[in-house]
Each structure stands twice: as structure tokens, then as C-alpha cells.
Amino acid sequence: MSVQHPAGRGPLAGRPARGPRGSAAEAPDSPAGGGDPVGVRHPRPARTGPRPAATGIAVIGAGAAGLTLVDALTAPGRLPAPPVVLIEATPGPLRPPPRTWCFWQEGAGRYDAAVGAAWQRLRLHDTAGRAVERDIAPLRYKMVRSDDFEALVSRRLAARPGVRRLAADVDAAAGLPGGGAEVRATAADGSPVTVRARWVYDSRPPDPLPAGRTGLLQHFRGWFVRTDRPRFETGTVELMDFRTRRPAHGLSFGYVLPTGPCTALVEYTEFSRRLLDDAAYEEALGHYCREVLRLGGFTVRARETGVIPMTDAPFVRRAGPAVFRIGTAGGATRPSTGYTFATIQRQSLALARAVRAGRSPVPPRPHPARARAMDAVLLRALDSGRIDGPEFFVRLFRRVPPGRLLRFLDGRSTLAEELAIGARVPVLPMLHCAAELPLLPRRTPPGPRIPTRPRHGIPEGPEGPEGSGVPAGPTGPEGPEDCQTPEVPAPQEEL
């Protein structure tokens, strides 16, 4: 592998490689057996000649997928780790703001040190306010903040000799005639950077999204709230609360991740075709907090906004002979739910194992074909209004054992389990949608666009967001007595 900047410039110019070099456990070695060490080169512009052989791996993007893959590729293990260059966007609009990822998992996981909270009970409320609650043991619903995840993985990578990190905005990644691929990027100072590698894994968000028959968006606004009285049940996540105001198209629900009796991430989410404007999210979330959850006095300590594509579009995993897409860009988002994080973990581990063993470098299919086909039908049914979304989800949750349902959502259910789940859904409208799908045109859905300005996770003042209508209450460490009690600590798991 080679990394090139114009002589003496570039983000790594003159700097030593990160981390100690040459440990036997993680000695750089290419999956293809090449021995070209990871190195930074500053070629003299005038000199031409044979370029170094492309070995090693380049990973574009240091989000969930990029970091997980580099972590898996270079983890100490029996099989040799390839040299890896992780190319992360320069500080600025290409770096996504902090976000909160949730997923379910049985037992301990590789990223438990970054898990901020975990729960064993999930609840749904139907539109009439009836609750359905389930214990998901032995699974746990875990929450990871992206900042904590990045810090954890960065600490690990810093100690691995075969990993280089490079800050540059990637402009293009393409295969080379003789094998391998080249990534062209621009460093923060405007200088061009070229990285050559045997394989390139690209997690840059697709823009535009590929064309699908249904293109819904899961879009949401969350508030990290602190109430002035204990209002949250700390052991239970409100997964889908359909007591929200119903949008004209699609569906909406509230989502509550309680992190203490007085603190929670509360979100208003829609599955629909169009995003709302800022004021509309604030209004809908304010209504949910005040009128549905009846939080009383509270302040908003930070915000989170997100858009996740829910589409049956086929995502290309192989963009060229030596260039592959991973993460959301490679179709890791489950179309019917938007959950992505756990799929990224599974896919990265499987891919890293294959690459280190010298097998196929193509990322494995993130979701089984059967699951994608069922999701395509469900998305069509939701989008066309042939099924009532809230009723559908509550019915599934009420009638299907939680372990089976979550296995299905993970794409790990058996055919028998899927048939059993199929028997719990409104059969006729679903059959209607399945029959019309092949006749529908594929269209490029709107957004989500790459954010141009960070808006998420921005701490708010104690008086609450301006103009949001959120009651300004006495909060924070100076809040009333009963909210001074320490938050219920997140259950710790042994690794």
C-alpha cells in the first residue's frame, strides 16, 4: 500500500506512524501475501517510474462501519492482520455529528466498554394508549453514543502497528488496471493525497440514494431531557409509542431511552416520504413530551436529528474490481426498521475473517434475500396506506414472541419462524402489495443529503431551546431535591 502527498506536504508529512511498529502479533502483512509495509511517501514531483505494488487495505470513512471494519481487520488474532489505512474526513461538514446507536445483543459484546445504558424490557403503546410490554431476556437493548464508540476504537487502533489514520476528504476511489485501487483525496490544507491499496472499502454516504420502488425516510428529532421530578421508568425502553399526532402520510411514534429517573433521550420519529422543517420537529416533540409523556418541567440538554433511508433499492456492494461499499452505503440498513449498527458489526467480523484468511474480499450480503423481499412488501404496504402502520407493529409485538421477532429483524430467523410471523400480519393487503411490486418503477428517493452543518448533539442552555415552547424549569445539578438522586447506572457487562 502506498500513501502519497506532494513532496513534504500533506496531513502526515514528517510525522511518524501512529502506534508502536513491528509487534509480532500484528505484523503487517497483506491478505494477498504482499509485504509492502504501510508507508507515507512524498514523491518528488518530477520523478516518474513504477509505482509501488498495491497491497494492504484502505478504508474510507471513520463512522460506525469504517471504524468497526478497521478494528476487526487489525484485532490481534491467529490470522495475520493486513496493513490498513483509515481515511477519515477532515474536521468539517463531512463529519457527522454525534449520534446514539441502539441494538439488541445477547451477553457481552466487543463494544460493551462504550455501552452507556442497557435495558431488558421494551414497550409499545398503541394509538389508544394501551401498552404492550415484553421482557427480551436473554437479549439486552444496548445504547452506544458515537463519541464513546469512536474513543474506544481509536484507543485500540492507536496501539496497533499496522494501522495508519489519515485525515483527508475523499474525492474518488477507482480500480487500477494492474489490480488494486486508488483513492484520491484532499487534505485539510488543500493538498492532494493519493492512497493505493489492494482493496478499498468505502463507507461514504450514497448521494443520491439508489433507485427503489419505495423510498420512505425514517426521520427524527431527539431531545436529551432532564425533568425536575422523576418521570422515567429506568428499566424499560419505550420502543414505539403511537400516541403521537398522526402525520398525513406514513406514521409517527415516540421513542424513549431512559438513562435515569430524570434523564432520557426522547424522540419523535416519522416513517414518511418527506422531512419536516425544524419548527415542526420541535413542535411535534414538544407535544409528545408535554401532552403524552406529561413530563412537567424539563430542560433540553442536547439534540439529535437523523434521517435513515427506508428503501427497497438494491445497494451495490462492489463498486469496482477492488472497491467495495460498506455500512449504510453498502445496504447495511434494514429497510423496514432503519437498524444498521448490529448488521455492521456482524458484516465487519465476517468480512475481516474472510480477508485475513485470504478468502473473498467482497462484503457478505448484509441481509438475507428473503428478509429483503419481505421488507419490500412491508414498505410498500406502509407507503401505500394499505395497512395501518401502528396497528401492524403493535400486533406483531403483541403476538410474536420477542426472541423470534428480534431474530427476524436481525435476519437470522428460520423459514418456519418467518411463516409463523407471516400468519400474524394482515395477509390480503400484503399479498396485494407483493403482487404489484414487480410492476412498480424504481425511482431515486429524496435525501438524505450529507449534512452541511452540524446540528446534532449541541448542548442547550439550561433555559431550554429558544422558541421551542419547552417549559423552562429548574434543572441540572441545581434542580429540585428528588432529581438530585444519582442516575441508575447503566448495567456493566464483563468483556
Summarize as ranges the residues that interact with ligand FAD (CB under 6 A): 60-66, 87-89, 94-96, 99-103, 169-170, 203-205, 304, 306, 308, 327-329, 339-341
Q: CB of 351: closest distance to ligand FAD in angstroms?
A: 13
Q: CB of 140: closest distance to ligand FAD in angstroms?
A: 14
Gap between the terminal Cα atoms of the chain: 34
Residues 122, 233 contacting (CB under 8 angstroms)? no
- Nearer Cβ to ligand FAD, position 308 or 371? 308
Taking alpha carbons only, the member of 109, 111, 115, 114 closest to residue 142 is: 115
Q: CB of 205: closest distance to ligand FAD in angstroms?
A: 6
Q: How far apart are CA 130 and CA 156, in angstroms?
A: 46
Q: CB of 305: closest distance to ligand FAD in angstroms?
A: 7
- Nearer Cβ to ligand FAD, position 170 or 381? 170
| C-alpha neighbours within 13 Å on the C-beta side of residue 407 | 16
Q: Which cell numbers in the block locate residue 376?
A: 419490500
Q: CB of 423: closest distance to ligand FAD in angstroms?
A: 27
- Nearer Cβ to ligand FAD, position 66 or 161? 66
Q: Which cell numbers in the block locate residue 278?
A: 425544524
- Nearer Cβ to ligand FAD, position 65 or 355? 65
- Nearer Cβ to ligand FAD, position 26 or 460? 460
Residue 469 CB partners (closer than 8 Å, separation 6+): 282, 283, 286
Q: How far apart are CA 73 and CA 113, in angstroms?
A: 19
- Nearer Cβ to ligand FAD, position 88 or 228? 88
In the bound state, the residue with its beta carbon closest to ligand FAD is 63
- Nearer Cβ to ligand FAD, position 92 or 469? 92
| CB-based burial label for 417 (10 Å; 0-12, 13-18, 19+) | middle
Q: CB of 35: closest distance to ligand FAD in angstroms?
A: 28
Q: Which cell numbers in the block locate residue 427?
A: 395477509
Q: CB of 71: closest distance to ligand FAD in angstroms?
A: 12
Q: How far apart are CA 272 and CA 247, in angstroms?
A: 8
Q: CB of 330: closest distance to ligand FAD in angstroms?
A: 8
| CB-based burial label for 155 (10 Å; 0-12, 13-18, 19+) | exposed
Q: How far apart are CA 153 and CA 165, in angstroms?
A: 12
- Nearer Cβ to ligand FAD, position 200 or 433? 200
- Nearer Cβ to ligand FAD, position 61 or 479? 61
- Nearer Cβ to ligand FAD, position 200 or 295? 200
- Nearer Cβ to ligand FAD, position 271 or 339? 339
Q: CB of 198: closest distance to ligand FAD in angstroms?
A: 19
Q: CB of 257: closest distance to ligand FAD in angstroms?
A: 9
Q: CB of 132: closest distance to ligand FAD in angstroms?
A: 21
Q: CB of 25: closest distance to ligand FAD in angstroms?
A: 27
Number of Cβ within 10 Å of residue 462's Cβ equals 17
Residues 54, 333 contacting (CB under 8 angstroms)? no
Q: CB of 458: closest distance to ligand FAD in angstroms?
A: 13
Q: How far apart are CA 25 and CA 28, in angstroms?
A: 9
| C-alpha neighbours within 13 Å on the C-beta side of residue 300 | 25
- Nearer Cβ to ligand FAD, position 99 or 196? 99
Residues 111, 149 contacting (CB under 8 angstroms)? yes
- Nearer Cβ to ligand FAD, position 229 or 365? 365
